[in-house]
Amino acid sequence: MSNSKDQQHHLEGEENKQSHSMGGCPGSRMMDFSKTEEKPGSSEGTRPSQLRQWPIQLHLVGPSAPYFQNADVLLAADCVAFTVGDFHKDYLAGKSLAIACPKLDEDQDVYQEKITALIDDAKINTLTVMTMEVPCCGGLLALAQAAAAKAKRKIPIKSIVVGLRGTINSEEWC
């Protein structure tokens, strides 16, 4: 290994060390997974999308939309679909979707009202809230629970927490 490469490697190491040790917001902390070995699993063939509606962003969807009526709804944090390899097959299939970011999105009071309307007016069957493990993402579950507490109907709510490497850290009914 040449000196310059050694130096580069050393600098990269320092950068990684800094990005991990300096703390700060875990939701925005830099991490690089590119050098990890390839995971087992098939990369061949294509999989159909399981999305059965448009739009999907929580500000854009309407609780009166036909695809929400009596549906099992998945409320996913924006980053979830990019993190879970088999998101469509394992989590989106059979569900109607809304996505949101509890950290960056504005007017989250509207989100709460919409979720309450989904429960009371669209009479959704269940609500699954899928978030990342970073602390700020917990806000989405809290928002959904506050909306459910305001609703007249009671429905089962499930929380699924996704690790940064796409693993499922927990899956439980609230």
The angle subtended at Cα 40 by Cα 47 and Cα 43, nearest 5°, is 30
Instruction: Name the residues that contact another protein, by CB under 8 A.
Output: 72, 94-95, 124-126, 128, 153-156, 158, 172-173
Classify strands 168-173 and 157-162 as parallel, antiparallel or unpaired.
antiparallel
As measured in angstroms, the least distance from the Cβ of 145 to another protein is: 13
Q: Indicate the residue among 134 and 141 with the shorter CB distance to another protein.
A: 141
Q: Which of 174, 79, 157 lies closest to 116, judged by CA?
A: 157
Q: How far is the CB of 158 from another protein (least distance, A)?
A: 7
Closer to another protein by Cβ: residue 7 or 170: 170
- Could you give the 3-state DSSP secondary structure of residue 50? coil
Evaluate the omega torsion of the peptide bond into residue 55 and state whether it is cis, within 30 degrees of 0. yes
108-120 and 138-150 helices cross at what angle (nearest 10)?
Answer: 50
Looking at beta carbons only, is 134 or 159 nearer to another protein? 159
Nearer to another protein among residue 136 and residue 155 (C-beta): 155
Q: How far is the CB of 41 from another protein (least distance, A)?
A: 16
- Least CB distance to another protein at residue 71 (A): 9
Q: How many beta carbons lie within 10 A of that of residue 71, not counting itself? A: 22
